């Protein structure tokens, strides 16, 4: 396992979110900051729920474009998190039955729900080219990032 310092990334995200940058631009910048600071974050994206259609829609990301820009609730890791409201860490995507492949290079994934007033409205999705790089520290860090985003953008997140 390698050493990861989340403090610089969290500091940069915190500073960004205090600058009144528009919601979508802010989310895109957060994705870029996380990829820049954390070596095993090869793709970072935010999906948001469309409750009427029961789908997740990709609104911001950093990394290579993906074909899965709309994901039905229950399908893939992201879709499962939309239903379970719980963090989901996949150490090896090749061993996962309900996995939607975004790239042949992805080996692991972590998805953390983003809550607004107690309701799961979206999630942050991280793909890594490394097998089993995610620890509990990643989960805590990403929960903190999601909480900061929810607090900063509040109900504007519902209109993405």
> pTM of the full predicted structure?
0.94
Which range (30-34, 55-59, 79-83, 92-96) has the least confidence? 92-96
Can you give the pLDDT at residue 116? 97
* Structural class in CATH, domain 6-154: alpha beta
Sheet holding 43-50, edge to edge: 70-72, 55-62, 43-50, 119-128, 108-116, 88-90
Neighbours of 32 (CB within 10 A): 17
How is the chain split into domains, by residue range?
A: 6-154
pLDDT level of residue 4 (50, 70, 90 thresholds): confident
% of the chain at pLDDT higher than 90: 82
Beta-bridged to residue 46, according to DSSP, are 60, 124
pLDDT attached to residue 100: 60
123/146 Cα distance (integer angstroms): 8
């Amino acid at each position: 396992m390698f050493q990861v310092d989340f403090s610089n990334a969290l500091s940069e995200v915190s500073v960004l979110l205090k600058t009144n940058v528009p919601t979508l631009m802010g989310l895109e910048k957060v994705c870029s900051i996380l990829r820049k600071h954390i070596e095993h974050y090869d793709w970072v994206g935010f999906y948001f729920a469309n409750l009427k259609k029961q789908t997740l829609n990709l609104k911001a990301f950093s990394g290579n474009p993906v074909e899965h820009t709309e994901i039905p609730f229950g399908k893939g890791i992201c879709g499962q998190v939309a239903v379970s409201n719980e963090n989901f860490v996949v150490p090896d995507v090749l061993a996962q039955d309900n996995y939607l492949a975004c790239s042949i290079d992805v080996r692991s994934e972590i998805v953390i729900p983003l809550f607004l007033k107690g309701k799961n409205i979206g999630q942050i999705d991280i793909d890594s080219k490394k097998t089993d790089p995610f620890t509990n520290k990643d989960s805590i860090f990403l929960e903190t990032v999601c909480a900061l985003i929810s607090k900063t953008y509040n109900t504007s997140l519902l209109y993405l």
